[in-house]
Amino acid sequence: MNKKNENKCCHMTSIGGQAVIEGVMMKGPSKIATAVRKSSGEIVIDEKETSSFITKYKLNKIPILRGVLAFIDSMVTGVKCLMFSADQVDLEEGDSSNEPSKFEKWLEDKLGDKIKDIAIYFAVAVSLVFSVGLFMILPTVIAGFFSRFISNRIGLNLVEGAVKISIFLLYLWGVSHMSDIKRVFEYHGAEHKTIAAYEAGVELTPENAKKYSRLHPRCGTSFLLIVMVISILMFSLFSWKNVWIRIGYRLLLLPVVAGVSYEITKIAGKKPNGIVGLLTKPGLWLQKLTTREPDESQLEVAIVAMKAVIPENKEDDKW
């Protein structure tokens, strides 16, 4: 396939997904499917109807708010799918050391079926706290030390922005070199290639999908980078008189940052060649860290998940 035409899009889809342990999750307009390959070669798939309160109450029609809610919903969905894939690996290993402890048995007796839901929301909360601490509070505290040398607000904002982006890049670089994560990043590449093949209108086969780029303009990596840029611009409006008050402003405005970033991502997705679309270009460069070239067996898994969520009416998944 000609390099020039390899990402030609005939149908821009709203279907998205994420890589999980030895598999891929795809989310369509009405279904979520997680496909995982076991070491035996068998592909298991978990399919669920989407029941998001966002669409139920038509909150997806409200700009900014829909971005905040979609971000939270995607985190919860992502953790659920990761837990499913991890369960498949644990079941396959059959390790007796994985038997629940007395404390875990006690929790299960007390909470019953609710224990998994509690674990999911706890994992989401921990992820949010970690992300806010590492990418928001830490850069502000570090930049605050420079306030004794730099009195200019613009200068301090530049320092904070540089620290924030440096931490983000170092984090991605470090994670990309972890052996277990490399497999996940290969499945991430498989997810992108499969979506690109579907958007191009070709038959979904590993042979066809592998010809497409593993980089995709509407990836979550691009969204995270846009969040970084918007937060730097928005928070530059506030003074540096007190670092802790500044951190408080950041926490209060975080939902606004997420919502605005979501809207920009949607516009950039519709107009990839426009001025706003240029914002996704650095995200494509970052995806060279967060994706790897998949093999055909990984593409097969992604295709199984994709086929399960494609709606009968193509207009239903139009971006």
Cα(9)–Cα(99) distance, rounded to whole angstroms? 48
Which residue type occupies 225? Answer: L
Residue 204, burial from CB neighbour count under 10 angstroms (0-12, 13-18, 19+)? middle
* φ/ψ bin of 58: left (φ > 0), alpha (ψ from -120 to 50), beta (otherwise): left
Say which DSSP state 13 is in.
Answer: B
Residue 124 near residue 116, CB atoms below 8 Å: no
Q: What is the pLDDT of residue 111?
A: 65
CA angle 41, 47, 53 (to 5 degrees): 150
Going by their DSSP bridges, the two strands 16-20 and 31-37 should be labelled as unpaired
Is 4 within the bounds of a domain? no
Residue 238 near residue 249, CB atoms below 8 Å: yes
- What is the pLDDT tens value at each position of the chain, 319 positions in all? 444 445 566 789 999 999 999 999 999 999 999 999 998 999 999 999 987 777 777 888 899 999 999 999 999 999 999 999 998 976 655 554 556 666 556 656 666 667 777 888 898 899 999 999 999 999 999 998 888 888 888 888 899 999 999 999 999 999 999 988 999 999 999 999 999 999 999 999 999 999 999 999 889 888 888 898 899 888 888 777 788 888 898 899 999 999 999 998 888 777 767 676 677 788 899 999 999 999 999 999 999 999 999 999 988 998 8
Cα(88)–Cα(38) distance, rounded to whole angstroms? 7
Q: What is the pLDDT of residue 241?
A: 74
Cα(223)–Cα(179) distance, rounded to whole angstroms? 25
Structural domain count of the chain: 1
Is 315 within the bounds of a domain? no
C-alpha distances (whole Å) from 243 to each of 103, 140, 206 are 41, 7, 52
Is 6 within the bounds of a domain? no
Is 7 within the bounds of a domain? no
Q: What is the pLDDT of residue 112?
A: 64
- Token pair in block for residue 187: 């499945």
* φ/ψ bin of 105: left (φ > 0), alpha (ψ from -120 to 50), beta (otherwise): alpha
- Token pair in block for residue 190: 């498989």
Is 193 within the bounds of a domain? yes
Is 1 within the bounds of a domain? no
Spatial neighbors of 234 by CB under 8 A, at least 6 apart, are 253, 256, 257, 260
Residue 2, burial from CB neighbour count under 10 angstroms (0-12, 13-18, 19+)? exposed
- Token pair in block for residue 112: 């019953």
Cα(173)–Cα(109) distance, rounded to whole angstroms? 42
* Closest C-alpha among 69, 94, 77, 91 to residue 34: 77
Residue 198 near residue 15, CB atoms below 8 Å: yes
* Closest C-alpha among 69, 76, 63, 65 to residue 32: 76
- Token pair in block for residue 64: 């900014």
Is 2 within the bounds of a domain? no
- Token pair in block for residue 318: 């139009």
CA angle 9, 12, 15 (to 5 degrees): 125
Q: What is the pLDDT of residue 314?
A: 85
Q: What is the DSSP string of 25-52?
A: EEE-SSEEEEEEE-TTS-EEEEEEE---
Residue 192 near residue 214, CB atoms below 8 Å: yes
Is 3 within the bounds of a domain? no
Segments forming the whole domain that contains residue 65: 15-93+100-309
Say which DSSP state 182 is in.
Answer: H
The end-to-end CA distance of the chain, in Å, is: 25
